Amino acid sequence: MVTEEQDKSTDPEVLGPYGGPRAVSGAPPPPEEPPYEDPIKVLTRAKFLTTVAVVTGGVMTAAILVPVVGFAVTDSLKEEEWRWVNIGPMRNFPSGQTSSIAVSGPDPDADRRVFVRREESDMQLMWNRCTHLGCPVAYSAGGDNFNCPCHGGAYNNVGQVTAGPPVRPLDRFDWKVVGAGGGEEVASRTDPAGLNRVSPDDELLVGRPYSVDEDFEVYPIKGPGEPVSGVLANLYPSF
């Protein structure tokens, strides 16, 4: 015999949605579970990509700054020894022509090739080191210009940049002309007027290198890739 109490247990209005007893109105809610954050979900795709971007940016920045700092620090710390080197009589450097000559310095690091560009009342002694990355440039008599085979750098007959990545004109050397056998000074870079009175037997001496800008303003010698003016020049120390 089914009692009234048993009959109410099967009443749909009493049963819950899954057959259990329906919650009684006014009963306290079940305790909330503490919040749980899956550690695997913490590193979302967005966060992962952001991290990769930051790391990649740091690596690229380091790749750019390391050569810059290297050039700046190396050139500022290393002092080359220099002396005047006699490169021969003036008859070897005819006016209106560009001559090439190898110069031996006081140590192997000072050995270099010099291009001598002589005019009636001026003379330019240019280093064959490209001001982009230091590759040796070559003189083209046909085009009366200089070209770098490494990255397409090009210069006119007085070493000013005409194409490619070089950051400044070709570097120069100080020079002076003295009488045969080491006589008195006849002309120099700072007093070129004396070139009008030099004799074929007078001797040309090459000295310390220096850098110039497009207007031939003189600066202390810089390493390859170092500009002498502009915003980027502030990244390199003056010495």
CB within 8 Å of 96: residues ≥ 6 apart: 118, 119
The model's pLDDT over 171-222, given as tens digits with 9 standing for 90+, comes to 999 999 999 988 899 999 999 989 988 999 999 999 999 999 999 999 999 9
Q: Does a structural domain hold residue 165?
A: yes
- Confidence at residue 10, expressed as pLDDT on a 0 to 100 scale: 54
Number of alpha carbons in the 13 Å side-chain half-sphere of residue 42: 5
Which pLDDT value is given to residue 190? Answer: 92
The pLDDT value recorded for residue 183 is 87
Whole-angstrom distance, CA of residue 85 vs CA of residue 158: 22
The helix, strand and coil proportions of the chain, stated in percent and rounded to the nearest 5, come to 25, 25, 50
- Cβ neighbors of 69 (< 8 A, separation 6 or more) are none
Q: What angle do CA 98, 169, 125 make, to 5 degrees?
A: 35
Q: Specify if 17 maps to a domain.
A: no
CA max distance for the chain: 144
Distance CA 239, CA 236 (A): 10
Q: Same structural domain for residues 123 and 93?
A: yes
Total count of domains within the chain = 2
Average pLDDT over residues 61-76: 51
Query: CA gyration radius for the chain?
Result: 39
Residue 73 has what pLDDT? 47
SS3 label, residue 38 = coil
Considering the entire predicted model, what is its pTM? 0.64
pLDDT score recorded for residue 86? 93
Of the three residues 77, 99, 123, the one that is the final residue of a domain is 77
Same domain for 153 and 65: no
Let me know whether 110 and 139 are in one domain. yes
Domain assignment of residue 145, yes or no: yes
Residue 61 domain boundaries: 39-77
- Does 176 fall in a domain? yes
Residue 5 has which token pair? 């109490």
Confidence of residue 238 (pLDDT cuts 50, 70, 90): very low
Cα 61 to chain centroid, rounded: 12
| Residue 3, in any domain of the structure | no
Sign of the four-CA dihedral 17, 21, 24, 29: negative
- Token pair, residue 72, equals 């700046």
- pLDDT tens figures, 21-63: 555 555 666 666 656 555 555 556 666 667 777 777 766 665 5
pLDDT above 90: percentage of residues in the chain? 49
pLDDT digits (tens, 9 = 90+) for 92-151: 999 889 999 998 766 555 568 999 999 888 999 999 999 999 999 999 999 999 999 999
| pLDDT of res. 63 | 52
CA distances (Å), origin 185, targets 23, 102, 165, 216: 114, 23, 38, 24
- For residues 129 and 197, membership in a common domain is answered with yes
57 with 90, same domain? Answer: no
pLDDT in tens, 24-34: 555 666 666 65
The answer to whether residues 73 and 118 belong to one domain is no
Q: In this structure, are 155 and 192 located in the same domain?
A: yes
pLDDT tens digit string along 106-117? 655 556 899 999
